[in-house]
A and B are shown apart, each in its own frame.
Chain A
């Protein structure tokens, strides 16, 4: 594998496939004109992959939607965009239609909403093939099947008969890629193709894209906010900010030796905040979970029979006062359910949650409500967790109204102001409404609300996954500071393994609601014992373009099976490269693995260790 992609040397290609010259995209809004792209010029050679990186609102997506004529009705484009020498700006919809699909394929961010829910995946793929190639039905079908197999959609023939809601996000994104590829485009525009996906699936999709690009000599524009994605696939990188290109160069140059301060700032944000030295030696167990299991009742099939979905089974662990526990895994792994079970927001089917020697599972509601001042939570969706009809001041004050009703109006206002200052928000924000704030500000308000009662345990459910890179970093730093100042315990649920590793004392790995591994954070990174942990670690992107392509090539396709029908024995065995017969017949024991770690795997002793 070459350390520098071949086409990177060709900085100025002789004949550009796509050439943007002084492209300006603007939108007329009631509050005046908003410019998404300002006099943007760039070129893309045939077979080259350009990574376009920037924060949300930088104009990345709108620029490329504009050249495909996919702008919203209030958008206007000026300047020039030439594809194979042909001007796209001002082209009639009919002519653009021929280029879209056949010349330029597009993959969107959210595969769930990009496919029509009432048509099967196959029908939607066949429609595109029929429209752009005019193949006969049987030939089109063969072509479709071939494509779906090429994008490694398992069980392709059956998937064609299924509707979008029956497929997982990763499968749908594969189908979307197949649709985009169906007419052999010379250029593929992928707009945040992995943002809505799990970290493992992200890596799989990126590996697929890198593969396809190589195999078909297809040019690609990869729009993303994630430098890790760019490092694995892109030859050249353009960093965008406020509608302009800040820096452009080969992937190696931009990622390894950035010239611009803004690029450095973005890159720094991908490095998780290092945790400060442990504030205090963790004390006695504050929280303990004893064999906690959570079931969801679901109705299935034509007769709507009741079935139990086991979201969490047999989770036991202890958390010391002042300790920080990370919980990682893919979506559907039971992370959020665990967070809610700890706070008694979900009633466990079996087992007990004990907080400071009080059994939360059987506490009367009144006592539980009183106790909630000690146990607080921060949510994944910063805006959604704030009541849209309350001001920031009222939101932050609400816990006081519940738990300290005796507090006077001025005392309450003072407490709110103090909390806002603590989370680094100005006092002026107190009269604003959530929809007037940015995502990061919303999350700070959520943190202020949780901290105003000085909780002793803070559960954070994916606190930064909805935020931009630099904002993520700030919020993480804030959480880390608060933990240091207050000495509270912290449970950090995240699919971002590197974040959890840096911030937490110990990390719990969950898969299909079962515990796979629990280990001190440092040990988990250096000597992972469970094959699933290894897979998660391998999927974490590094921003080094000399290493990342090789890492991507090692990704194996695979997604968690349905939690309604978990595999027998070890639930991970269907994806595990080391699985033996014993893995299908017996559930592995949750055993001590030395160095304060525990693991549930039949084969952890046999698997070669060492860092990934």
Chain B
């Protein structure tokens, strides 16, 4: 199956290379991820080490702390990059989780059709209608705040609903295509048709959707952390850094600006890559 997809992926990659904006965004994102991974190790400061000499220090390239420090004297450069690292990790895992569940659920429901389809999609509708923040609050009080596992579960559990709906719609359309009937006439079993013909043809949509979910997940994680439901101190995520920074906005704006700038950069890059991928995989461009 992988071989089958090669030509189309190659063509998509070629078109993506021709998309200058997406290429720049990809380069910036890669650089950002590398810096987030490597730079904290090179820095003399750890994300939770306190520098009593420099409390609430403003940023400066010649200073000991490039991005300044917070009220407790923690290095904001290291903490921000830590936040980027954690945000990326959580959002990637949560996206994978939600896309995985959504793909399986939506494709199964759409392909099965009939009553099974009705029930499976009504279940999605019911989950959709529950106030998710409420669920997250209950989950975190039950398991304990700050557990990244819970956070992942909460974000992933909400995210898959939309994926499932999109995949479901696509599957319904694919099911009517001639090659699915041809496969049936060839004598393939339903499972084989689903795996060999439906899922590979969903790949384009799903990949695009996944790239566009990652920034959503980052935003959602930041939102939860901002509310105090997500990543807990002294762990740093972009969300709780922005939360802490917002409280010092008037006296020490850098505490807000540093993590906020990284968040914006991350989101812009991911969205641009998602847009580029969507264009590259669009069959109408062929």
- CB within 8 Å of B: which residues of A? 343, 345, 365, 369-373, 375-377, 379-381, 384-391, 394, 398-399, 402-403, 433, 435, 446, 449
Contact = CB atoms under 8 A, between A and B. Distances in A.
A390 B4 contact: yes
13 contacts: A376-B186, A379-B182, A381-B178, A384-B177, A385-B179, A385-B182, A386-B178, A387-B201, A388-B201, A389-B5, A402-B186, A402-B187, A446-B182
A386 B179 CA distance: 5
A379 B178 CA distance: 8
A399 B192 CA distance: 12
A381 B179 CA distance: 9
A242 to B, nearest CB: 23
A387 B4 CA distance: 10
B3 interface: yes
B111 to A, nearest CB: 15
Nearest to B6: A391
Contacts of B184: 345
A384 B178 contact: yes
Contact of B185 (A343, A381, A389): A343
A435 B283 CA distance: 10
A376 B183 CA distance: 11
Given A379-B178, A384-B177, A389-B200, A398 B4 contact: no
B178 to A, nearest CB: 4
Contacts of A446: 182
Contacts of B187: 369-373, 399, 402-403
A387 B179 CA distance: 5
Nearest to A373: B187
A435 B286 contact: yes
A399 B186 CA distance: 6
Contacts of A385: 178-179, 181-182
Nearest to B190: A365
Which 4 A-B pairs rank lowest in CB-CB distance, beginning with the nearest? A372-B187, A384-B178, A385-B178, A387-B179
A390 B182 CA distance: 13
B185 A345 contact: yes
B145 interface: no
B271 to A, nearest CB: 25
Nearest to B199: A389
A396 to B, nearest CB: 11
A36 to B, nearest CB: 20
A431 to B, nearest CB: 8
Contacts of A377: 182, 185
A385 B177 CA distance: 7
A434 to B, nearest CB: 9
Contacts of A384: 177-179
A402 B178 CA distance: 19
Contacts of A379: 178, 181-182
Chain B CB count within 10 A is highest, among A375, A377, A389, A402, for: A389
B188 interface: yes
Interface of B: 3-5, 7-8, 177-179, 181-189, 192, 196-197, 200-201, 203, 283, 286
Given A398-B183, A435-B286, A449-B186, A391 B4 contact: yes
A391 B2 CA distance: 11
Given A389-B5, A391-B3, A372 B178 contact: no
Nearest to A340: B181
A386 B182 contact: yes
Nearest to B285: A30
B4 A389 contact: yes
A61 to B, nearest CB: 20
Nearest to A394: B4
A371 B185 CA distance: 10
B3 A388 contact: no
A398 B180 CA distance: 13
Contacts of B197: 387
A606 to B, nearest CB: 43
A591 B252 CA distance: 97
B203 to A, nearest CB: 8
Contact of A449 (B5, B177, B182): B182
Contacts of B189: 365, 369
Contact of A345 (B5, B8, B181, B286): B181
A457 to B, nearest CB: 12
A449 B189 CA distance: 17
A386 B183 CA distance: 9
A433 B181 contact: no
A62 B182 CA distance: 34
Chain B CB count within 10 A is highest, among A343, A365, A391, A398, for: A398
Contacts of B185: 343, 345, 372, 375-377
Contacts of A343: 185
Given A384-B177, A387-B196, A394-B4, 5 more contacts: A345-B184, A381-B178, A388-B283, A389-B8, A433-B8
A345 B185 CA distance: 7
Contacts of B177: 384
B186 A398 contact: yes
Nearest to A375: B185
Given A402-B187, A402-B192, A391 B7 contact: yes
A113 to B, nearest CB: 16
B180 to A, nearest CB: 9
A389 B187 CA distance: 19
A398 B182 CA distance: 11
Contacts of A449: 182, 186
Chain B CB count within 10 A is highest, among A385, A386, A399, for: A385
Nearest to B7: A433
A456 to B, nearest CB: 14
A388 B5 CA distance: 9
Contacts of B5: 389
A377 B185 CA distance: 7
A377 B192 CA distance: 19
A390 B1 CA distance: 8
B220 to A, nearest CB: 32
Chain A CB count within 10 A is highest, among B7, B8, B189, for: B7
B10 to A, nearest CB: 10
B280 to A, nearest CB: 13
A402 B184 CA distance: 11
Contacts of A365: 189
A294 B185 CA distance: 18
Contacts of A387: 4, 179, 183, 196-197, 200-201
Given A369-B189, A372-B187, A433-B7, A389 B182 contact: no
A136 B121 CA distance: 52
Given A376-B185, A398-B183, A398-B186, A388 B8 contact: yes
A446 B186 CA distance: 11
A389 B201 contact: yes
A123 B142 CA distance: 62
A402 B195 CA distance: 14
A380 B181 CA distance: 12
Contacts of B182: 377, 379, 385-386, 446, 449
Contacts of B3: 391, 394
Contacts of B183: 387, 398
Contacts of B8: 388-389, 433
A328 B25 CA distance: 58
A400 to B, nearest CB: 10
A523 B179 CA distance: 37
Chain A CB count within 10 A is highest, among B177, B182, B184, B196, for: B182
A465 to B, nearest CB: 14
Contacts of A391: 3-4, 7
A130 B189 CA distance: 58
A380 B185 CA distance: 14
Contacts of B7: 391, 433
B18 to A, nearest CB: 9
A574 B201 CA distance: 46
A469 B179 CA distance: 24
